[in-house]
Amino acid sequence: MVFTRFLALLNTRNKEFLRDRSSLGWNILMPVLIVAGFSFAFSGDIGKQFKVGVINQNLASSVSQKFMQLKHIEFYQVDDFERAVSKVERHQVDMLLDAEKQQYWINTESPSGYLVEKVLLGVDNSGFHKQSVSGKQIRYIDWVIPGILSMNMMFSALFGVGFVIVRYRKNGMLKRLKATPISAFEYLSAQIVSRMILIMLVTAFVFYATNYFVGFVMNGSYASLFLVFALGALSMISLGLVIAARITSEEAAGGLLNLFSWPMMFFSGVWFSLEGAAPLMQAIAEVFPLTHVTAAARAIMIDGAGLIDVGYHITVLLSQSIVFLLFGSWYFRWD
């Protein structure tokens, strides 16, 4: 690594991105428009399906089984009691039900919780014992914003690195660079660092710009959130490097990048919670970097989680980054 050559490549890539007004504008404008649209769409009282978390679902009594057979109520198995109670406090879950101990928890300030309680008591008005909690409601826009920011990072990382490298290879730019003293490590490092800097700057701008008008919930540390986004960006940039390591066709690169990005966008918990989803779907989602970025950022912003609390997601992102970087660097070819 010759630092002067690395800086020259880094400076060149930054200028190239900043001069591409359409790409720069799209990276900034798209998440702002999405946030504005969701903020407007979910500003009123919109009906939604009731959601009930169930503890010890397999040991449910005949009464609770009868309750859990009702239509228009979504039931899902709860494994983390403290986390489930926190969701009831924030109006994300309408009721928490312990099927074995015949207890239930509702938020006394939640209209949906009140209605679900009346339905439960209509099935059996004596067998269950009420436990009350309280807390401020989390708007859908508060819940979805970490996913929107992560999704914007994903598209910028995959297409900003993967597509650019393929374009350079196709038009012969990489072949000419190969004839210079520049090493593959210097070139790839400059690409990764440049995209990291730009992604983090754009993400910070979008976050503060939209937060000024909408006012997101932020219960955790900004430093922790920054670290999670940085690791997520690194992981997805590295994935883009793997995809573009040898491809010479822009059409093939675009197809592969879409093949990776669209499933991640829909199955990583960006738009809807994966709790209660099919086990196979949850297992597949664990493979995607976007899943761990979104989950960790959401835990920090909404639940006030620290780095230790999201340690699992950080470990996965760091491991994926190392594996993708090593494989992408080894598999990379100039021509």
pLDDT digits (tens, 9 = 90+) for 197-222: 888 988 888 888 888 877 888 888 99
What's residue 231's pLDDT? 93
What's residue 135's pLDDT? 64
The list of the chain residues with pLDDT below 70 reads 1, 3, 16-48, 57-65, 123-127, 134-138, 275-277
pTM higher than the cut 0.75: no
What's residue 24's pLDDT? 58
What's residue 230's pLDDT? 93
What's residue 21's pLDDT? 61
What's residue 17's pLDDT? 63
Provide the residue ranges of all domains of the chain, joining segments of one domain with +: 3-41+139-331, 50-133
CA dihedral for 284, 290, 291, 292, sign (positive or negative): positive
What's residue 137's pLDDT? 63
What is the rounded CA–CA span in Å between residue 335 and residue 325?
19
What's residue 47's pLDDT? 45
